[in-house]
Structure 1
């Protein structure tokens, strides 16, 4: 992006700004809800199209392709084109994704729908967050970032919950979740159309895609923080993609409403951790997040080994808290270490690592599940990721000691 292309107006403390804040928060939540709707439905798609765990994980993981592309290509585009335009583009991608899933047109529709869902998430992750900061009322100004995080995580959690309930209690389990999501998107579009534009646009300004870099001053902090967040997002990706499969095939609990509820608890744990533990200092939160993640992984492993529901449920919630600590503290650490000219690129690189963590390890689990079974693959995954999280914890403690 060229220098001095736009500027943010002073936050207007009026009714329109408050309406815009609420509209963006609602749209953010609904878009993220749409991203996780397919989670409890993958088993139905498997039966309908005749594929197994490997292709399930690939369909899930292509979502990260859309997210990373949007983050790198459009991460700062709203500074040039305005928040409203970018949010509308994200909503359009979310609507297109829902329509594709509704067509029931086979694997190509599933793949393209997931990619478009990722594009919508990538746009909203950056643009909606800064729009909330721009439009926050005075009483929420200092907590706007936490509001954005909570809306993000709760939206992601409500997707499996809504889809699981509709799949369980309606006659068209592959249609009603996306019909409901499209209905929820209508007021989101109307609200964003009416929101005030907080960016003063400069005629003739040009935008260049964000290039990921890692500032030299931040590398010593970036590496352990990135490893920790890679582990946290890998577990998030695994449980979002295949935890309903764990419940159905390993524990003998195929209820899709229950599957949606269990995945919801992970995102709820993350939202609660982000908000409730916001005052934990970064130097404590970063290693603590890795240790909490290991405890959650232990719960998942015990649940898989013993075919027990309660340890798996508790482990799922604990993993959400560990992810919250790792992600928040990692962002804070690298933002503090990177100088202003390279800060945005360094944060973009951090997000890329996180979303690579969502995709590649999940596919590896799908390959292992094809060869050795889902239960064995899940147990091996928990052991490997626990080792990675512990390594990140040790690296952070050594860095802190220096």
Structure 2
């Protein structure tokens, strides 16, 4: 899980180099990003429950093979078309992997499974973005070395998977699951509606950081170091992972309350930094928003996933991830298309304001539900 998400963020610090080398626009940049997320979303809709029927191991193995192929395409890429192809294949691989791996970890441990499902993506995105930035700054082969290291990791994991035991019994009926659908068990639907605004706010912010943060830092502050883009992603995701660790034993609703509050506060600080051109304040806001990102994701997962039965887990996980990645890619794609007319800073102001409003709406809903629950008692 860590490596799949590291691979997903590895191209982020390289986008500016790709633009300089191949001369493509910000719109094309967000298209490259969105292709990954949209292919991930489509795959989740069709194949999200596959491991519930075929077993976890074969599905994870196929995802590793697809990810290996995407790394090879990245290494050999010579223009935007190759990047789009690699990101599309990577999205398919990540979708298949995350639903199967997430369900397998729940099969193994229903207490620690949600924690690992929450924390691994955060550390993975930080590792991919910051690690790639450091390699670009200090190592040779800036456009290929990160992919070579990830390629080696995925090959080793594919071999190691042969030693891992299966965690679910295969069952018939797999063809019926291949219709595009969002399957949410009836007992989990009310909870999903409760957590959705916070989840949308968190993942919309994550999508913006992974697609446009490096360009925004240059436009708003004049800073040109490649490390800044990786540091921005790492500030968001590592603080998110730390908040998950600190809140993992707290009640899920408490985590959501913390998440919504810190999301609204952190994005407000980021918008202030962008308009003042203060790089240090941007990173401070990213840390605060990251706490909200991690807390929201953990709270939502801990409320939702235990509500599913064993052979519903991958389906619910894929539905939740599909909605998350829809929020991850569509707003960022709209932002990329808006830059031409509004400019990057003005687009950021609108985008950030929407994220703050969503977080506050979710916070209000949680507080209202808690008040109604107290009255009922």
More displaced stretch, 313-322 vs 142-151: 142-151
Q: 1:227 aligns with which of 194, 197, 211?
A: 197
Q: Partner residue of 1:310? A: 280
Distance in 1 (CA, whole Å) between partners of 2:273 and 2:146 is: 29
Decide whether the 8 Å contact of 2:103 with 2:317 is kept in 1. Answer: no
**SS where residue 176 of structure 2 aligns?**
coil
Distance in 1 (CA, whole Å) between partners of 2:71 and 2:185 is: 38
Distance in 2 (CA, whole Å) between partners of 1:75 and 1:128 is: 11
More displaced stretch, 126-135 vs 253-262: 126-135
- Whether 2:62 is the aligned partner of 1:62: answer no
Q: Partner residue of 1:199? A: 168
CA RMSD of aligned residues (A): 2.5
Shift of 1:207: 4.5
Q: Partner residue of 2:375? A: none
Decide whether the 8 Å contact of 2:118 with 2:301 is kept in 1. Answer: no
- Whether 2:45 is the aligned partner of 1:76: answer no
Please list every run of 5 or more consecutive structure 2 residues that lacks an aligned counterpart in the other structure.
373-377
Q: Partner residue of 2:177? A: 209
Decide whether the 8 Å contact of 1:72 with 1:209 is kept in 2. Answer: no
Distance in 1 (CA, whole Å) between partners of 2:104 and 2:188 is: 27
Decide whether the 8 Å contact of 2:99 with 2:314 is kept in 1. Answer: no
Residues 196 and 282 (structure 1 numbering): CA distance in 2 closer, same or farther, change over 3 Å? closer
Cα deviations across residues 229-278 of structure 1 (Å, max 9, x unaligned)? 01110000001111111222221222112321231121111211222111
Q: Partner residue of 1:383? A: 353
Shift of 1:119: 1.6
Cα deviations across residues 129-168 of structure 1 (Å, max 9, x unaligned)? 23334456xxxx7424323432332112111112111111
Q: Partner residue of 1:126? A: 99
Q: Partner residue of 2:271? A: 301
Decide whether the 8 Å contact of 2:220 with 2:275 is kept in 1. Answer: no
Please list every run of 5 or more consecutive structure 1 residues that lacks an aligned counterpart in the other structure.
1-27
Q: 1:98 aligns with which of 71, 76, 96?
A: 71
Q: Partner residue of 1:185? A: 154
Q: 2:124 aligns with which of 147, 155, 163?
A: 155
Distance in 1 (CA, whole Å) between partners of 2:261 and 2:299 is: 14
Residues 222 and 150 (structure 1 numbering): CA distance in 2 closer, same or farther, change over 3 Å? closer
Residues 197 and 386 (structure 1 numbering): CA distance in 2 closer, same or farther, change over 3 Å? same
Cα deviations across residues 66-118 of structure 1 (Å, max 9, x unaligned)? 22223222222223322221111111121111111112232221112111111
Decide whether the 8 Å contact of 2:48 with 2:314 is kept in 1. Answer: no
Q: Partner residue of 1:400? A: 370
Residues 214 and 372 (structure 1 numbering): CA distance in 2 closer, same or farther, change over 3 Å? same
Q: Partner residue of 1:39? A: 12
Q: Partner residue of 2:227? A: 257
**SS where residue 199 of structure 1 aligns?**
coil
Residues 201 and 357 (structure 1 numbering): CA distance in 2 closer, same or farther, change over 3 Å? closer
**SS where residue 160 of structure 1 aligns?**
helix
Cα deviations across residues 289-345 of structure 1 (Å, max 9, x unaligned)? 111101110121111011111211111122221112212222333446778997765
Distance in 1 (CA, whole Å) between partners of 2:318 and 2:150 is: 29
Q: 1:281 aligns with which of 232, 236, 251?
A: 251
Distance in 2 (CA, whole Å) between partners of 1:185 and 1:219 is: 35
Distance in 2 (CA, whole Å) between partners of 1:250 and 1:48 is: 22
More displaced stretch, 331-340 vs 389-398: 331-340
**SS where residue 112 of structure 2 aligns?**
helix
Q: 1:169 aligns with which of 138, 157, 165?
A: 138
**SS where residue 177 of structure 2 aligns?**
coil
Decide whether the 8 Å contact of 1:66 with 1:115 is kept in 2. Answer: yes
- Whether 2:320 is the aligned partner of 1:350: answer yes
Aligned residues: 370
